[in-house]
Amino acid sequence: MMKINYAIFLLILCSFGTTTVPDEELFYAIDKDMPFLTEFYKVRHKSPELSLEEKNTSKALADELRKIGFEVTENFGGYGIVGIYKNGKGPRILYRTDMDALPMYEKTNLDYASEVTTEYNGATAGTMHSCGHDIHMTTWLGTARAMVEVKNSWKGTLMLIGQPAEEIGAGARLMLDAGLYTKFGVPDYGIGLHSSPTIPAGQVGFGKGNTMANTESIDIKVFGKGGHGASPHMAIDPVVIASMIVMDLQTIVSRNIIPTEPAVITVGAIQGGIKHNIIPDEVVLKLTVRTYSEETRLYVHKRIREISRGVAIAAGLSNDKLPEVIIPEEFTPANYNNPELVDKLVASAQRVLGSDHVVGAERQMVGEDFSRYGKTEHQVPTVLYWLGTVPEERMKSGDLPGLHSPFYYPEPELSIKTGVTVTSQALIDLFNGG
């Protein structure tokens, strides 16, 4: 594991051409805390909990916040926690971490790999922090500890959010619906970070405007007329109809959406049938749809309905057997990074990392419900930035497993130290009117 010497780190930063030497007190506080934070990370990685089941995870975070003087509210919007640290008159700033893991077996072979299993959708599954939420939590806690250590350098109210159920897109809404801003106040800014599987550990990435997509889960129930597999002429095969719908859906993005407008339609599951020689009555398609603009989102809905209906009619189905397209009202909205706030955070990051370690980040079609904190009636300026996590050896080899891969893992110490340093400096600068 890479060790970072505090004095050498300062010299490296100066060599990057920064004009202001970062606060030595902050650097020292973070440096001395790294053994605790690295161990805390490994415990969290070994002890993942699924969405809406984050009981022990949230308690561990809440207990640590109380130890350093935060007022903590637990079980807020599920297992959500809110930590408030009042440090005089000044801005109120929200900083969020997510806490949940995914139902999958870990295949990293790390000595602190998760061996937790769970029951998920009627089957036994593993449980893994394959999206970096363990890094998020540790960086969040490390930032809280650092901010308390250097409390004489800032004034204001730090509002720490431990959010459940990000992986199912429900946690932010649960906390907001429980009255987050009513009970704890409307923040002046909201910030968060997300682990990057492509940016090297020691670097951070920022993008302006829309950086993550609207995320929707859509089901299509395809009906037919069941029969014997040896007599397909006596049936109307929903497997074939579903297959044709899958192929025709691919033309929406390639032939119906303007080429400069991002959109993704992926069929992630096809469910139907029970036996080799039986034509079933029904097949279900499960889609994920990603868009940025509301116009494109609604147009994609329209085309999905039209294609599903058209294929079914061509197959000879009656009106009462046409496909049912199920589009939930709830979806995860696109994440929008406030440009002015991005500029402030970039300046802070460059101050402590040097400009070479702060990179531009392209828009992605993944989704994140952090977006909701800035989409209430209050229009809080928010930014979700990318924290580099890729170990040096993986960057050199080009072996870069993506998020949600059973082989993904971050370089813990450098990733955590970078995240705590950048976030703490950003908070200090924002509290001080930067």
Give residue-wise pLDDT tens across range 202-226: 999 999 999 999 999 999 999 999 9
Does residue 173 sit within a domain?
A: yes
Same domain, residue pair 30 and 139: yes
pLDDT of residue 21: 40
pLDDT of residue 14: 43
Same domain, residue pair 188 and 76: yes
pTM score:
0.91
Same domain, residue pair 163 and 261: no
Number of domains in the chain: 2
φ/ψ of 118, rounded to 5, equals -150, 165
Does residue 304 sit within a domain?
A: yes
Q: How far apart are alpha carbons 79 and 292 in whole angstroms?
A: 30
For the residues 239-266, what does the mean pLDDT come to?
97
pLDDT of residue 23: 74
Q: How far apart are alpha carbons 43 and 407 in whole angstroms?
A: 18
Does residue 382 sit within a domain?
A: yes
Same domain, residue pair 115 and 173: yes
Does residue 1 sit within a domain?
A: no
φ/ψ of 349, rounded to 5, equals -65, -40
Q: Which domain holds residue 234?
A: 215-326
Same domain, residue pair 122 and 20: yes
Same domain, residue pair 20 and 161: yes
Is residue 146 within 8 Å of 33, Cβ to Cβ?
yes
| Domain C-terminal end among 278, 298, 326 | 326
For Cα atoms 66, 381, 186, give the angle at the middle one, nearest 5 degrees: 50
Q: Which residues are CB-contacts of 292 (< 8 A; sequence separation ≥ 6)?
A: 210, 213, 214, 261, 262, 263, 334, 363
Instruction: Indicate the average pLDDT of the chain.
Output: 94
Q: Report the range of poorest mean pLDDT among 16-30, 275-289, 302-316.
A: 16-30
Same domain, residue pair 338 and 193: yes
pLDDT digits (tens, 9 = 90+) for 141-196: 999 999 999 999 999 999 999 999 999 999 999 999 999 999 999 999 999 999 99
Does residue 85 sit within a domain?
A: yes
pLDDT of residue 22: 54
Same domain, residue pair 338 and 311: no
pLDDT digits (tens, 9 = 90+) for 95-142: 999 999 999 999 999 999 999 999 888 889 999 999 999 999 999 999
Same domain, residue pair 82 and 226: no
Same domain, residue pair 30 and 93: yes
pLDDT of residue 263: 97
| Domain C-terminal end among 262, 292, 326 | 326
Q: How far apart are alpha carbons 390 and 393 in whole angstroms?
A: 8
Does the pLDDT at position 4 exceed 90?
Answer: no
| Domain C-terminal end among 326, 343, 368 | 326
Does the pLDDT at position 6 exceed 50?
Answer: no
Same domain, residue pair 139 and 22: yes
- What confidence category does residue 2 fall into, taking pLDDT thresholds of 50, 70 and 90? very low
> What is the token pair recorded at 210?
């829309």
Q: How far apart are alpha carbons 267 and 247 in whole angstroms?
A: 10
Same domain, residue pair 85 and 170: yes
| CATH number, position 84 | 3.40.630.10
